[in-house]
Structure 1
């Protein structure tokens, strides 16, 4: 059984806590709508011959939503009973020969309904429904989802230990197929079907520096056996709340999340994630927690040939690298902002919290250093990319001490 009785949602603000106390009054109606949506979209749970089953689903869903809102209001609240129930629920699914994917999908559907309904009810009550506030609730819901599914996965694994080797072998073969680069949609579907893994529209590969010491939700495939290093295959990586979930799941480890692709192109995502992981290990990219390759596309393209990049930095940024160290970084940051804000001294000054006259003085110094290069727009893209890489390295090295 999971060894924690608490779920940390990491939300901020007393106002949000007070709102969640009020919104608990709507939990029953939200649960009813969430169950109806799950029954429509998940055939495994549609059992018209057993009305008691739907009633149990409503009770459980109400418990989950009500407990979530109570936890948002009081972070010290124990979740022991709920986590134990989900452990037993996972074990029950295993004993009936089912995977945990439908259960996880049901939670995700319920979370989507909950976010929408909570937004509607809060709006009707005149509460704050800004994007930032609702994003906090959505992110917290997906973290909550992960804790429940982790508990269910533990119970499922314990109850299905006799069949586990065959099940895990099937998942390993599916990973091998996905990362082979030669998988067609039909073949992927054929292998995924008996494993209860619904083929998603998009996936991303996560490159890991080592095999993790914790489990993951059942919809995430693990590739710990791969010769080039362990990885995960994550469905729907850019869906609502998924980035926050991945950040929470992968916190504290050096890893990189690849760009999302069609399942048949998983090998491409894995190649990009491994490249990003290599750059994080070399301190070119920040390595504290997951690195998302989609946030660093220019640097990934630029670093395809590191030796050539080093030569380009030494050659193109030489005027800047030759100035004394005390003014090198301020000039570099100013030039970078100038490229992004079209050399508008007022806008650059606003971003850097400096007087525009200070920016104009620095621009004159930069023009003296780089000469015609700053007057030629065709040089700006190359200089900007190299400068971005150089600044990223400086900040990463500075953060590392």
Structure 2
């Protein structure tokens, strides 16, 4: 299928108006022009200064020969800028730029340098042959239209290679992640997959769970330090395990506004455990932060919430414990029960100190005193027993989640 550029759709190709005898006049100038251009490129395009040897340089030289030969063959015809051979070669140059690790800027700069040199040399040939200035002007327009075609085809090939490589990289990232989360793979296999994925595998890792919509932001913020994969119902990332406070702080800063949960640091073989813990906390968090303020949506470390994880392992046992420990509250109404549970948890947290309890609950200290007296009537000596107080706190936190309830809850 013939490539048609926007310039070509606007009317006749500019070289069609040039004298048909021009190709025969310009053809002898192509070999010295090509040689001069290959000498000029390393000087004018710094990226090529260290690339003047090897297969790619040979391919570029061949591309210059074919591109210039095609250019001087076009005057007087209405043929497209590129035939099958030249298009294939120019496309290969775009692909090669990507594989050589350069941006398209280098090749586009080379094309521009070639256009300037070609116009200088070929316009002199026209003048020596007695052509009018109008021919020289049309030749210049034709050269730049031709370079536009070369640039467009090479850029398309570069973009296609970039997309293909990005897709391959994502698949390899996903394969490494799934293998780690599945467990059971030996170190040799894990290292092989990490190498294929071009990811530097840290000695210890942490698995991060976050909403799929936050994957792009996390990928951008983590950069090469993290491996982010979008899965069916979540985005999952692998990061180097934060072992020190400053590392934790830095990781949380990078994950800001992603609602991420960072699983506990583990060896590679324990990645499934880190993932399960992070998933558990993420699911609990999702249920209770639907309308939460931004500070409650900040990323969190599983190591700071292990109590919640432990209580969530056997929620039915926690429920049974709560039913037994909080049985005295069955004597009051549901509305008062919520108030007494809130007050009792505050009493346990502040060891009975009324001032901080009143500040936390948003009530007067006398109200706190009344409620505590009523709690003593309901629970009796249990409030003076350390073991019973421990069970009460587990029961209350298990019912309300890790964070203590706020006033008015």
User: 1:241: how far off?
Assistant: 2.1
Work out the CA distance in 1 between the residues paired with 2:161 and 2:357: 61
Partner of 1:370: 379
SS of corresponding position for 1:303 = helix
SS of corresponding position for 1:160 = helix
Partner of 1:384: 393
Work out the CA distance in 1 between the residues paired with 2:297 and 2:331: 31
User: 1:185: how far off?
Assistant: 4.7
Work out the CA distance in 2 between the residues paired with 1:339 and 1:188: 48
User: 1:178: how far off?
Assistant: 1.7
Work out the CA distance in 2 between the residues paired with 1:96 and 1:318: 73
Q: Does 1:203 align with 2:205?
A: yes
The verdict on how the C-alpha distance between 1:375 and 1:158 changes in structure 2, with shifts beyond 3 A counting, is: farther
Q: Deviations over 1:315-365 (max 9, x none)?
A: 322333542344433432322122222223344345546554443332211
Partner of 2:303: 294
The verdict on how the C-alpha distance between 1:311 and 1:159 changes in structure 2, with shifts beyond 3 A counting, is: same
The verdict on how the C-alpha distance between 1:263 and 1:277 changes in structure 2, with shifts beyond 3 A counting, is: same
Q: Does 1:318 align with 2:327?
A: yes
SS of corresponding position for 1:161 = helix
Q: What count of residue pairs does the alignment treat as equivalent?
A: 248
User: 1:247: how far off?
Assistant: 2.6
Identify the match of residue 268 of structure 1 among 262, 268, 273. 273
What's the TM-score once normalised by structure 1's chain length?
0.51
Q: Deviations over 1:158-199 (max 9, x none)?
A: 862232343233222211232122245554334323433222
SS of corresponding position for 1:276 = helix
What's the TM-score once normalised by structure 2's chain length?
0.50
Work out the CA distance in 2 between the residues paired with 1:197 and 1:93: 23
Kept in 1, the 8 Å contact 2:342–2:405? The answer is: no
User: Unpaired segments of 5 or more residues in structure 2?
Assistant: 1-49, 51-95, 103-157
Q: Which region of structure 1 is more displaced relative to structure 2, 320-329 or 258-267?
A: 320-329
Q: Does 1:259 align with 2:264?
A: yes
The verdict on how the C-alpha distance between 1:310 and 1:239 changes in structure 2, with shifts beyond 3 A counting, is: closer
Work out the CA distance in 1 between the residues paired with 2:347 and 2:208: 35
Q: Deviations over 1:43-98 (max 9, x none)?
A: xxxxxxx9xxxxxxxxxxxxxxxxxxxxxxxxxxxxxxxxxxxxxxxxx9965459
Q: Does 1:360 align with 2:365?
A: no
Partner of 1:214: 216
Q: How does 1:40-79 map to 2 (within 5 A)?
A: none
User: 1:243: how far off?
Assistant: 0.7
SS of corresponding position for 1:239 = helix
The verdict on how the C-alpha distance between 1:157 and 1:321 changes in structure 2, with shifts beyond 3 A counting, is: farther
User: Unpaired segments of 5 or more residues in structure 1?
Assistant: 1-49, 51-91, 99-155
Q: Does 1:169 align with 2:180?
A: no
The verdict on how the C-alpha distance between 1:221 and 1:207 changes in structure 2, with shifts beyond 3 A counting, is: same
Kept in 2, the 8 Å contact 1:258–1:273? The answer is: yes
Cα RMSD of the aligned pairs, angstroms, is 4.0
